[in-house]
Amino acid sequence: MTASGTFHIGGDLEVRRLGFGAMHLRPETAEDRARCVAVARRAVELGVTLIDTAHMYGWGANEDLLAEALHPYPDDLAIATKVGFRQTTTDQGWRYAGTPDELREQVDEALRRLRLDRIDLLQLHRLDPGVPLADQLGALRDLRDEGKIARIGLSEVDEDELTAARAVVDIAGVQNRYNLLDREHEPVLKACEEAGIAFLPWRPVAAGTSGAQSEQITTIAKELDATPTQVAIAWLLAHSPVIVPIPGTSSITHLEENVGAAGVHLTQDQYDRLTR
């Protein structure tokens, strides 16, 4: 089964179907920063054309790091980021921030940190339960119309929320937790398939150790001379044409392993065994 290829997010943004999630790039020391910069640059060298970040990842530090590592960005590299949270001093450490003014402020901050004139895919990290959905998405629609963002996405939504959101504005992507061993959001994936919406699974490899949790994954990995992680990602790519996995890591070795999953091709029998 062919596992790689490309997908057009929003119908017009072509990306390779194996992106990179930057969440694990946490530059706490100078040594860490150099390592994280190297990982981001290696991802681009390996042909990754979609990198996903968020304001919440280090409260802007992750976006700053990507700009340091990759700006000026290659013409074919798309940057996705997320807004909708603010840091607090509470035990939880964050609060929802989905008012139109807060969303606009966060988008402006992201543009400055990423050194961009326009964000390719701006995702609402979570729906703010204290703000009407139409107000949240209306603000993003206005920012899109102003040219500050190109496409709008959502994160951790159910079918009803996706339907309600699409009544307000075009949705180009959905980022939900999903992997071979955790398919809670299968109905959302199917809704994305029907609408041609990109589905970006976060945590695409369960706990990072799929092989340890499934004898079937380990067996098929041996059959393919691949790693269990590569098999788990290859299954995602084969499972739906709208899935664009964004596995993350802070290790170049693991990055190369993840990207190598695009070259792992499951037979129909192997795919069926994994799906069962």
- Catalytic residues, by residue number, are 57
What whole-number distance in Å separates Cα of residue 85 and Cα of residue 125?
7
What whole-number distance in Å separates Cα of residue 37 and Cα of residue 45?
12
Q: Is 155 in contact with 176 (CB distance < 8 Å)?
A: yes
Q: Is 69 in contact with 35 (CB distance < 8 Å)?
A: no
Q: Is 20 in contact with 255 (CB distance < 8 Å)?
A: yes
What's the start-to-end Cα distance of the chain, in Å?
16
Q: Which residue has the tokens 């590569």?
A: 230
Closest listed residue to residue 214, CA positions, set 222, 159, 91: 222
Closest listed residue to residue 21, CA positions, set 188, 263, 205: 205
Q: How do strand 173-175 and strand 20-21 relate by DSSP bridges?
A: unpaired
